[in-house]
């Protein structure tokens, strides 16, 4: 089993519902979620928009390889309404970043682990510091707490309390991407 660290992010649609459904799908396909951070509201990084992001870090115990994990996370993003365009930084319903997979260091054309830009982003380091403050970055040999202390990112990241009246997203049968997008955009207006 490997310890997988993921970051959920998104700023479109019903974020509470989308995050809950992402967690359900990831736990079903990757393995047990053993820890999750609070949800943080964050200013957009790398572009301007009026819609702030939500971010949450997860730890999952998984027997899967990095290639299997990448396919599952990308498929999950698509199932939950993610549309990839030409721009790297843009609004989205969900983004699932692979931060760490144990102490592995992977440099492939379509995947780098540890996530190469995480050390420059408070919206990653703050949720990570909540669930794994002493985790040591295998490249920089520093804990998450140390990396956060050294981070020069100045964007606001604040913990929020998310209240949901939904017990389960299964009650809504949200497995159809266009339906999710229509429902979420209507509910946020």
Can 92 be counted among the known catalytic residues? yes
- Clarify whether 84 is annotated catalytic: no
Q: How far is CA 7 from CA 73, 171, 176, in A?
A: 11, 25, 23
Instruction: Note if 75 is an active site residue.
Output: no
Write the CB contacts of 109 (distance below 8 Å, at least 6 apart in sequence): none
Determine contact, residues 93/16, Cβ cutoff 8 Å: no
Which of 3, 51, 97, 171 is flagged as catalytic?
97
CA separation for the pair 107, 184 (Å, rounded) = 36
What's the CA gap between 5 and 61, in Å, rounded? 9
Catalytic residue among 51, 88, 92, 117: 92
Catalytic status, residue 51:
no
Give yes or no for a contact between 32 and 20, defined as CB atoms under 8 angstroms apart.
no
Which of 51, 75, 95, 153 is an active site residue? Answer: 95
Q: Per the residue annotation, which of 75, 82, 153, 171 is the catalytic one? A: 82
Task: Supply the residues annotated as catalytic.
Answer: 82, 92, 95, 97
């Amino acid at each position: 089993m490997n310890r997988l660290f993921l970051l959920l992010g998104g700023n479109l649609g019903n974020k509470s519902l989308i995050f809950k459904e992402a967690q359900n799908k990831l736990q079903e396909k990757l393995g047990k979620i053993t820890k999750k951070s609070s949800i943080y509201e964050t200013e957009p990084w790398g572009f301007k928009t009026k819609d702030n992001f939500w971010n949450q870090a997860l730890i999952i115990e998984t027997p899967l390889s990095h290639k299997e994990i990448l396919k599952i996370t990308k498929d999950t993003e698509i199932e939950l309404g993610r549309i990839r365009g030409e721009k790297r930084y843009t609004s989205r319903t969900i983004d699932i970043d692979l931060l760490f997979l144990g102490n592995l260091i992977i440099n492939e054309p379509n995947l780098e682990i540890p996530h190469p830009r995480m050390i420059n982003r408070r919206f990653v380091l703050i949720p990570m510091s909540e669930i794994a403050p002493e985790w040591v970055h295998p490249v920089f040999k520093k804990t998450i707490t140390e990396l956060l202390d050294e981070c020069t990112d100045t964007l606001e990241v604040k913990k929020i309390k998310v209240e949901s009246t939904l017990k389960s997203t299964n009650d809504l049968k949200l497995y159809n991407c266009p339906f999710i997008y229509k429902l979420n955009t209507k509910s946020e207006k």
